[in-house]
Structure 1
Amino acid sequence: MEGWISITIKVVDSIMGSGKSTFAIEKMNNDTERKYIYITPFLDEITRVKHSCPNKRFVDPKNYDNEGHFQKKQDSLHNLLAAGHNIATTHSLFKQSNEETKELIQAGNYVLILDEVMDVVDHLTIKNSDRDLLFENNFLNVDDEGYITWNNNDEKTRNYDGKFNDIKHMANNRNLLFYKGSILIWTFPISIFEAFKEVYILTYLFDGQIQKYYYDLNKVDYEYYHIENSNGNYNLQKGKNKSPKIKAQYSDLIEIYDGILNDIGNDKYSLSMSWYENRNQAVTKLKNNVSNYFKHKMKAKSKDIIWTTYKDFQPKVSGKGFQRSYIAVNLRATNDHRQTKYLAYTVNRFMNPIIEGFFIERGVKLNHELWSTSELIQWIWRSSIRDNKKVYIYLPSKRMRNLLKEWLET
């Protein structure tokens, strides 16, 4: 890839609710010299940062300028960077960063605080016929490092403007890699991180996350920190927090259902995506199990419920009394559901096999079970356990159930 970069990423790896965001806000408020970019998954967190750091005068990119003229948010971001503002914005916009973004960040001597890991590697869905058309007509090429490049040497392709503009933009931005001779892999440009003076990532179980493997792939150094609360002051301490008290407090707060409704998930791959795709009758049974758990086992009211499955199968599992309580399986970093205490996690999470294979082919070591555990823990923490209140969870996958128990016990 592009070799070692000069920055060392500071990974603040502390459990949800330990004060990572509070630490970040205190840090920004106390720093009177440097400028910050705060990147978060959700709009409400942008509002929180703006209100909590009044002296920093954080701004967020808009689709309209001061005179009411439409502009792309990326152009707005660039204008704000050029003007030297402190900026709070979303993962979604930050993922569009390009060479201009990098140069503006570098010129502004910015510090990055990344609230939660973001999608830095993805499988790009494109029809085989379209992909073949682009290569056969010399629109795309592959360089020695495996990056897909757009042919800017030919006037016809250089001036192309059409349905493949996104591909053109990503190729010119050095975002695309070739995998197994046909699959396009999108990656966030590693040079963006290099442009910052410092980078902080606020997360938990980083060792199991794709962004960790992305840094390993690109030979990026990172070091671990954790948050310690000392009389209401949230301090950054080097290394991981290995205190057994951190998780011990949750053993009594998470009650895992143990009964006959779990029989549907006894096999290793039960409730995986392929299981859903090939077992219509079992999915119907699962729907009945979820209904039984909420209505009869827990006697839960809909306002106290959250549940999840794969997005494509939501209609098939959804039932009366809990259909409106669905939240996405990969939802994280939001407090919108912190009043809920009855949970149903009806999936068995595995890494995307294409992304997994992409890393393995390049010699990156993965921790599959920790990745699955991380996804599960993040989802559970959308509930009232955030406030140290007891939650009850139906976790029919035996594999996922065991991963949760192991996490609680170690």
Structure 2
Amino acid sequence: MKNSELHSFSVKEQTKDIKSKLEPNKILIYDAIMGSGKTTSAIERMRLYSTIGQKFIFVTPFLEEINRVQDKLDSIIETPVSKHEFDILNVYSSGTKKYSYKNKRDSYIDLLSQNKNIATTHSLFGSLSVGDASLFKDYILIIDEAINPITLFEFGARDIEILFNEQLISKDVRTNKINVTDRQYKDNSFKEVLNFCRQDNVYLNNNTFISHFPIEIMNACKQVEILTYLFDSSLMAYYFKLKGCNYSFLTKLDEKSIKVKIKNNLNIYEGSRNQNKRSKTAFSKNNLTKKSKQERKKIKDKISYVFRYEFRTGSNHSAFTTFKEIKSKYAGKGYTKGFIPINARATNEFSHKKSMAYIGNRYLNPAILSFFKEKGIKINQDYWALSELIQWIWRGCIRNDEKMNLYIPSNRMRNLLISWLND
């Protein structure tokens, strides 16, 4: 449940006499447009927290953002947070540079047990379980960009039948919650799916196992701060609704004037290379996957044409995206090296890009929609798709208050953006 009262971003007000003002289980949403200073404000709060001995955990999507925040903290904290306390979470197995889940997670738990200040990624934070909740009781948790609290594992219907018949798993007929029945099973045949099902809060929806993040982690914290934009469109907001969590918004921005500035800086292509039929599913993942080689070539030719003749930018300043699984099928001359993941956020690595092409039309996985629907929660897919699009656009030079070209051939996605700008 959300509290609609709006507060300011005042750092001093937030941290004044903080030890006496912290409220257990309080969730604060710093909801403001990208580039408005949410992370900078959070760094200042972390500095103030450190001066009173209040421990904090900072969670961000990318490793490079951890390093940036760490450097900022080291420059403003009189007794800076030890680099060891941050960098230990970036451990790789020796020699191969291969991701080592066990080493990283164990290091994370070890730091929590030592009550250290910690910066980590969304991915590693998502590996926590209910049993870890007690380690968070002394912490303020700061999450940069709303996390995805839902994880899917799609499995074949016949294989799921075998899991039940062999009594490897069982299901609560009322809630569809899954339990691993045979804890001694060692065979590799179902090792991966059984490891997934051993997580907390795993449910079965048709042929998809669904796990959601243990709310006990956030409930254990002294306070939770989430830095994002359009929070109500995120899966995290629906997750809080599912769990009955209360939260309050904090903002003070004149968003209307910000949108006017963005609109003036954005050159949105409106020519004949856009989708010519008003189909809601055109450029969706399923639609793009099923296209023939000839159809894919036509799309690639349109992208190249727009970059070369409409936007007139070279490969160094051009960027595109599509769904990861079909990236290679839509890569083309003059823009391939500028690929930005379709779910990119919280990074300024691509802020030099002056022209961007969004080859996608976002919809949530039907299993997620069905899962929430069964709980009586309906998700607004247009709102979610819009927030994902805005986050991606903001990776380009528009974040620097510069002019930027944008090609979105999907009618649905383009019109969602234009409606948001016009508001």
Give runs of aligned pairs for residues 8-47 of structure 1, distance below 5 A: 8-31=26-49, 32-47=52-67
Q: What is the match of residue 205 of structure 2?
A: 179
What CA distance in whole angstroms lies between the structure 1 residues aligned with 2:284 and 2:228? Answer: 25
Give, in whole Å, the separation in 2 of the partners of 1:62 and 1:318.
31
Residues 45-194 of structure 1: pairs in structure 2 closer than 5 A: 45-54=65-74, 55-57=80-82, 58-60=85-87, 61-63=89-91, 72-106=103-137, 109-143=138-172, 144-151=174-181, 157-163=182-188, 164-180=190-206, 182-194=207-219
CA contact (8 A) 1:148 1:174 kept: no
Cα deviation for residue 126 of structure 1 reads: 2.4
Change over 3 Å in CA distance of 1:170–1:102 after alignment to 2 = farther
CA-CA distance at 1:304 after TM superposition? 0.5
| 1:252 alignment counterpart | 264
Which one-letter code corresponds to 2:205 in the other structure?
Y
Alpha-carbon distance in 2 for matches of 1:291, 1:172? 47
2: distance between equivalents of 1:33 and 1:26? 14
In the alignment, which residue of structure 2 is the partner of 1:235?
none
Q: What TM-score, normalized to structure 1?
A: 0.87
The letter for the 1-side match of 2:28 is K
User: Does the Cα contact within 8 Å between 1:122 and 1:355 map onto a contact in 2?
Assistant: no
Kindly report which structure 2 residues correspond to 1:244-323, keeping only aligned pairs within 5 A, or say none. 244-264=256-276, 266-280=278-292, 281-323=294-336
CA separation in 1, counterparts of 2:62 and 2:151?
20
Q: Quote how far apart the aligned CAs of 1:123 are.
A: 2.1
Q: Contact (CA 8 Å) 1:10, 1:224: kept in 2 or not? A: yes
8 Å contact kept, 1:265–1:397: no
Q: What is the alpha-carbon distance in structure 2 between the residues aligned to residue 312 and residue 333 of structure 1?
A: 22
Q: CA deviation at 1:170?
A: 4.1
Q: SS in structure 2 opposite 1:223?
A: strand
Name which of 194, 199, 206 aligns with 2:224.
Answer: 199
Specify the code of the residue in structure 2 equivalent to 1:252: N
**Amino acid aligned to 1:339:** H
Moved more, 241-250 or 400-409: 241-250
Q: 2:6: which partner in 1?
A: none
> What does the per-residue CA deviation read over 1:190-241, in whole Å, with 9 as the maximum and x for residues that have no partner?
2111111111111111111111111111111122112x5xxxxxxxxxxxx4
Task: Confirm or deny that 1:353 pairs with 2:366.
Answer: yes
- C-alpha deviations, 1:31-73, integer Å up to 9, x for none? 12311111111111111222222333352425479xxxx9621
Aligned amino acid, residue 246 of structure 2: D
Q: Which amino acid aligns with 1:110?
A: Y
| 2: CA distance, partners of 1:339 / 1:187 | 36
Paired amino acid for 1:269: T
Give the Cα separation in 1 of the matches to 2:67 and 2:415: 38
2:133 counterpart SS class: helix
- Flag the structure with higher helix content: 2
1:327 to 2:340 alignment: yes
Q: Distance in 2 between matches of 1:364 and 1:50?
A: 39
Cα 1:56–1:293 shift into 2, 3 Å: same
Change (3 A) 1:170 1:268: closer
How far residue 168 of structure 1 moved from its aligned partner, in angstroms, is: 4.0
Whole-Å Cα distance in 2 between the matches of residues 285 and 170 of structure 1?
41
Let me know the Cα RMSD of the aligned residues. 2.1
1:394 maps to amino acid: Y
Amino acid at match of 1:250: I
Which structure 1 segments of 5+ residues have no match? 1-5, 152-156, 229-240
Contact 2:283 2:359 in 1 (8 A): yes
Deviation at 1:291, TM superposition (A): 0.6
Please give the secondary structure, in 2, of the residue aligned with 1:56.
Answer: coil
What amino acid sits opposite 2:199 in the alignment?
A: N
2:378 maps to 1:365: yes
CA contact (8 A) 2:66 2:120 kept: yes
Q: What amino acid is aligned across from residue 259 of structure 1 in structure 2?
A: G
- Offset from partner CA, 1:328-351 (integer Å, 9 cap, x none): 111111111001110111111112
What residue number does 1:211 align with? Answer: 236
| Structure 1 residues 170 and 111: CA distance shift in structure 2, 3 A | farther
- Structure-1 separation of matches of 2:112 and 2:91: 15
Rounded Cα–Cα distance in structure 1 between residues aligned with 2:228 and 2:384: 13
Residue identity in the other structure for 2:34: M
Unaligned 5+ runs, structure 2: 1-23, 75-79, 94-99
Query: Which shifted more, 120-129 or 333-342?
Result: 120-129
C-alpha contact 1:384 1:390 (8 A) present in aligned 2: yes
Shift of 1:169: 4.3
Residue 111 of structure 1 and its aligned partner are, at CA, apart by: 0.9
Closer, same or farther: CA 342–62 of 1 in aligned 2, 3 Å: closer
Listed one character per residue, the Cα deviations across residues 269-306 of structure 1 (whole Å, up to 9, x for unaligned) are 21112221333233221111001001122221111011
Distance 2:120 2:285 in 1: 32
Query: Once the two structures are aligned, what percentage of the paired residues are identical?
Result: 36
